[in-house]
Structure 1
Amino acid sequence: MVAVPAYAAMNDQQKAKIEALNKQVVDLQKQIVDKYVEAGEITKQQADLTKSNIDQAEQYRQQFTQQNGSVAPVPGYGPGSGYGRGYCGGWGANAGGYYGGRW
């Protein structure tokens, strides 16, 4: 018989701190996208699409959290329907960049 460790439930203060960190992550992702626009690596249209994907992924994360009572990372929260090849993707000279897909 294998014992499964029990984890203590997070309190409201811990949940609030994690939510605040998630908001910071989203804000930083959008700032990175803006820097790619400033550098001429992507267009404003590409940036808008990528930011929309970031917002959709965050909305999904929040819904997942509410439905499952957890603030754990969302399953399948990776490459998505963004511009370019997805997480750390890109194309051409931008291969390895951080825009596109869901972060």
Structure 2
Amino acid sequence: MSLKNIMQEYSIKRGYGKNLAENMVQGLRDQFGIEPEESDGHYVVSYGALKRLEVWTGEKGKTLIVDTESRTDVDDETIIDTNRRFRRYLEQATGYNSKERAKKAKKMAE
């Protein structure tokens, strides 16, 4: 089984930081339909094309850090479903949609 590992940090929309920990965990429940495992403030689920999806808050609770380990041995339908759920999760947790997250990432890279 081939795996791909990626870690990413996402900005949180103003007003979402107050409830980031709660949004982060509830988003996993809502979008993946499973209860995350918790260890030292890190929450982990496994779903579809994601062997491991681990999330935690960044410094001062102003960012969401996401570490994923993907399976590459799954069918296209599973990949599409997992990606859709993952994008909805990020929007629920950060308050930003895909376009807004891309803009923020581009701005941070400059």
TM over 0.5: no
Question: Which structure carries more relative contact order (alpha carbon 8 Å, separation 6+)?
Answer: 2
- Structure with higher helix content: 1
TM-score (normalizing by structure 2) = 0.32
- Structure with higher strand content: 2
Larger-Rg structure: 1
TM-score (normalizing by structure 1) = 0.33
